[in-house]
Structure 1
């Protein structure tokens, strides 16, 4: 089987499977980033809270999920989740082992890891906002919601966007670890194709090239988003 046929889209080619796997990787990373954004926002609020208990909980979350290896977190969520679901199923009369959906548990595990890093990004972005602007808004009697919408959120977005781009790249690479659950993402599909054809070098190089392509495209998207937010902020500042 020649190179074109091996990587083609015919009945014996792996081109279509690799592209679908790359799409699965992007969708998984998007889901993880969204889950991480929710957890990250709450954890950042906890770490900025005036209550010591909330700060301790936030610090504990970021310490655990940034300190424990990502693969171990995925194993704990996947096998621990399956064990929990199996136990609950047995309470209701189910027999045998019940596995959890690899996509859902993978997105949740990577999202929890992502949330630990996003929390630090949001916390730093909030601290970077000028205190003088917020105090001036309060002195003018501006409602809290209006102050958040017009002053706090736009500046937090501007300061946080570069860090979120880095977290995206981290989550994109972490998604490869979900292959241990059997989900047909890019790394898993590259492994299956390599084992089926014995062209290990070829398919791992192609898989790496697709990861680099996704990284390059996402870098360009985030760079444009940063430029757009920066221009919008400067226009609003000049208008005010």
Structure 2
């Protein structure tokens, strides 16, 4: 299991997100149809571009998030594990009540960065015809002949999204710091 997780994070972090999007966009329908044929289904299966885009951004973000959590787990002193065992807590309950809150507090800054990265990676989804902000802005700019206005508006929107997200993560970090 650890080997599979390590392979997943290594591959997803080592391959450009745009390539992950293309591989999922062009490969998911064929793979689903191949599996369905094994069960006797002969019809056509198609997954829409939006769903493929969500899968791609999720897979890439999850690989980075898993590394953030792995690093946070490494910051927990061994005495904490011994403490919940000494209290007689079962491993799952000890992880849930003692280790996970500490890990989450350590992982929060890194998770904030992964969240901001995911927001900005959504711009790549325009290459598979997902009508996300950059695709709409590009079309509007070409149609009106005023690309600077529309791209400037998109920059402001992304800046606001990132600024608000950063504030939320800082507020949660402060809340976690004080209990």
SS at match of 1:100: coil
Q: Kindly indicate whether the alpha-carbon contact (under 8 Å) linking 2:65 and 2:114 is maintained by their aligned counterparts in 1.
A: yes
Deviating runs (4+, > 6 A) in structure 1? 88-91
In structure 2, the partner of 1:117 is 64
How many pairs align? 177
RMSD: 1.9
Shift of 1:89: 7.6
User: What is the alpha-carbon distance in structure 2 between the residues aligned to residue 188 and residue 202 of structure 1?
Assistant: 14
In structure 1, the partner of 2:162 is 215
Which of 168, 173, 176 is the aligned partner of 1:226? Answer: 173
Gapped regions of structure 2 (runs ≥ 5): none
- Which deviations, in whole Å up to 9, do the C-alpha atoms of 1:22-42 show, x marking residues without a partner? xxxxxxxxxxxxxxxxxxxxx
In structure 1, the partner of 2:137 is 190
User: What is the alpha-carbon distance in structure 1 between the residues aligned to residue 145 and residue 35 of structure 2?
Assistant: 42
Shift of 1:94: 3.9
1:76-87 correspondence to structure 2 within 5 Å: 76-85=23-32
Q: Kindly indicate whether the alpha-carbon contact (under 8 Å) linking 1:121 and 1:164 is maintained by their aligned counterparts in 2.
A: yes
Distance change (3 Å), C-alpha of 1:143 and 1:83: closer
Q: Kindly indicate whether the alpha-carbon contact (under 8 Å) linking 2:80 and 2:99 is maintained by their aligned counterparts in 1.
A: no
SS at match of 2:83: helix
User: What is the alpha-carbon distance in structure 1 between the residues aligned to residue 42 and residue 79 of structure 2?
Assistant: 62
Distance change (3 Å), C-alpha of 1:144 and 1:206: same
TM-score normalised to structure 2 length: 0.90
Relative contact order, higher structure (CA 8 A, sep 6+): 1
Gapped regions of structure 1 (runs ≥ 5): 1-53, 233-240
TM-score normalised to structure 1 length: 0.68
